[in-house]
A and B are shown apart, each in its own frame.
Chain A
Amino acid sequence: MGLPEVIEIASEIGKGAWNMVSVWLTSSADTRDELYSKMVAARDAMMFDRQASIDADQRLIEETNAIIAKAEAEADEK
């Protein structure tokens, strides 16, 4: 086996290893457009979750404040 063949085999091994790494890192099934769409969808879901959490939390705060206010009023009466 001569030097050209050795270089060719080494090159193929290198390319194969690099392809494996690339596939692992970028999920080759996803194109950049698909990744962009997923990113935008994740952003929209994030903003939806944010608002839903804040709204639910706020309702709970109001409920708790009403219960505390009632207890304070009852304590004042005593």
Chain B
Amino acid sequence: MIMIRLMLLAVVVAGGCADPVATVYKASTTTAIAVSQCYKTRSVVHGVEQRNAQTLAQRGDPAAARTAQDAWLLKYNIWGQVCDAGAAAVAGFVAQSKSFETAIDKRTAIAPWIDALGKALADMTAKIAEFGGVR
């Protein structure tokens, strides 16, 4: 998790020597793709969990099905909050991105956004590792 942030930071810092704005655009694109993957991975696990709950109900154990469903939806929502935070970081960055073109000190201007994008990537990766192999 920390390694991912460090790697992203290293790429951005190193790339920033060449063109900090262009490099952070690439970092944002990478994060946007990771956010899409975050939702898609959650949907895949969600499908497995839903089929499990349905099977329990169809086998005549609705109480177990309800318990499984409730437990999963709790995780589903937590997972969603992490994906949403990543989406917000990307959307926020894109909305502000043109201001970096004219910033006097571009590296200082984009530094907080690099941290936000890196944190979003790390959090999403951790959540997929934590819940992705659930059950």
- Chain A residues within CB distance 8 Å of chain B: 21-22, 25-27, 30, 32, 35-36, 38-40, 42-43, 45-47, 49-50, 53-54, 56-57, 60-61, 63-65, 67-68, 70-72, 74-75
Query: Within 8 Å CB of B80, what residues of A?
Result: 54
Contacting residues of chain B (11-60) with chain A, CB-CB under 8 angstroms: 11, 14-15, 18-19, 21-23, 25-26, 28-29, 32-33, 35-36, 39-40, 42-43, 46-47, 50, 53-54, 57-58, 60
Q: Is the beta-carbon distance between A42 and B19 smaller than 8 angstroms?
A: no
Q: A67-B57, A71-B58 are in contact. Are A43 and B94 (CB under 8 A)?
A: yes
Q: Are A32 and B62 in contact (CB under 8 A)?
A: no
Report A74 CB to chain B, min CB distance, Å. Answer: 8
With A60-B50, A68-B57 as known contacts, state yes or no: A46 contacts B90, CB within 8 Å. Answer: yes
5 contacts between A and B (CB under 8 A): A27-B26, A39-B28, A64-B50, A68-B65, A70-B57
Summarize B's interface: helix, strand, loop or mixed: helix
Q: Which of B11, B15, B26, B60 is in CB contact (< 8 Å) with A71? A: B60
Question: B interface vs A, CB < 8 Å?
Answer: 11, 14-15, 18-19, 21-23, 25-26, 28-29, 32-33, 35-36, 39-40, 42-43, 46-47, 50, 53-54, 57-58, 60-62, 65-66, 69, 73, 76, 80, 83, 87, 90-91, 94, 97, 101
